[in-house]
Amino acid sequence: MRWKHLLAGGVVAALLVAPLGAPGAVAAKKKKKPSGPVVVGTDPEGDWGEGSQLAGTPAQALGGPLGQDLVGAELELAGDTLNFIIKVTELPPNGGVPEFTRYSWDFNVNGERHDIDGKWTNYTRGACDPTSGQCPPPRDPGPQPFIVRGECRVEPIGAINLTVCQELGVVQATFDPAAATITVPVPLEMIGAGPGTKIEPSAGTFGAALTASPAAFVTNATMPMDLLQVTKTFVIAGKKKGKK
């Protein structure tokens, strides 16, 4: 009878061990969560207007309510779109200042200079911009327009150096007063980007990649503004397509 007890014990042991190695009992692999925004640059709060005649005066505090006090820059890949996220200390309750507060973000795509340039409303520049090769005819740029530009270069025109670029397209940004962010969605195709593409920092026209300033059509270096240095390179995730 002893062998029966041994056999029974072996069966029980096998039943106890089997679930651990059974295919159906293997824990499912956790799905990778989509990555969130990546911080590529920061800037101190309250330094709007440094280097201008407003520095050290009560008027320097105007940068916050105008939505021009930059504190952060982030990039986020969302499918086939690259979100450029501008963070400020605050935005007006409606989202932005029409025609007045201008944001410009210079960046390199695999070494080639590009920028995004926009406002809450931008009829002064978005309707007709001869510096982008877009005008004439005039057009309606739509709400919260940001112009995506490439082939950028600085040209001396009169007494100023003007950034001249080729317009690649117009996108509509989201101004979020609660989060104090401006999100500019740029299709990867529009800037010729794909898996493995490097979105690199650029020196920018005023010595920093991201600027927030008062502006009509152009921004002069003597104007009060805030500058943010982008210091990190963002690489588009995914596998490069093989050549046929």
pLDDT value for 146: 97
Q: Which domain holds residue 226?
A: 38-235
**Which pLDDT tens digit goes with each residue over 196-242?**
999 999 988 788 999 999 986 777 777 899 999 999 999 999 877 65
Q: What mean pLDDT value characterizes the chain?
A: 84
On whether the CB atoms of residues 164 and 152 are closer than 8 A, the answer is: yes
The per-residue pLDDT for 14 is 45
- pLDDT, residue 34, reads 53
| Residue of 132 and 77 predicted with greater confidence | 77
Q: What is the pLDDT of residue 117?
A: 94
Q: What is the 3-state secondary structure (H, E, C) of the chain?
A: CHHHHHHHHHHHHHHHHHHHHCHHHCCCCCCCCCCCCEEEEECCCCCCCCCCCCCCCHHHHHHCCCCCCEEEEEEEEECCEEEEEEEECCCCCCCCCCCCEEEEEEEEECCEEEEEEECCCCHHHHCCCHHHCCCCCCCCCCCCEEEEEEEEEEEEECCEEEEEEEEEEEEECEEECCCCEEEEEEEHHHHCCCCCCEEEECCCCCCCCEEEEECCCCCCCCCCCEEECCCCCEECCCCCCCCC
Q: How many domains in the chain?
A: 1
Q: Is residue 18 part of a domain?
A: no
Indicate whether 31 belongs to any domain. no
pLDDT score for 241: 63
Q: Would 13 be classed as within a structural domain?
A: no
For the entire predicted model, the pTM comes to 0.81
Q: Is residue 220 part of a domain?
A: yes
In a domain, 105, yes or no: yes
Rounded-to-10 torsion of CA 84, 119, 87, 38 = 0
pLDDT in tens, 16-41: 444 444 444 444 445 445 568 999 99
- pLDDT tens digits for 48-107? 999 888 888 898 999 999 999 999 999 999 999 999 999 999 999 999 999 999 999 999
Q: Is residue 231 part of a domain?
A: yes
Let me know if residue 75 belongs to a domain. Answer: yes
Report yes or no on 155 lying in a domain: yes
Q: What is the rounded distance in angstroms from the CA atom of residue 142 to the CA atom of residue 111? A: 30
pLDDT at 137 over 90: no
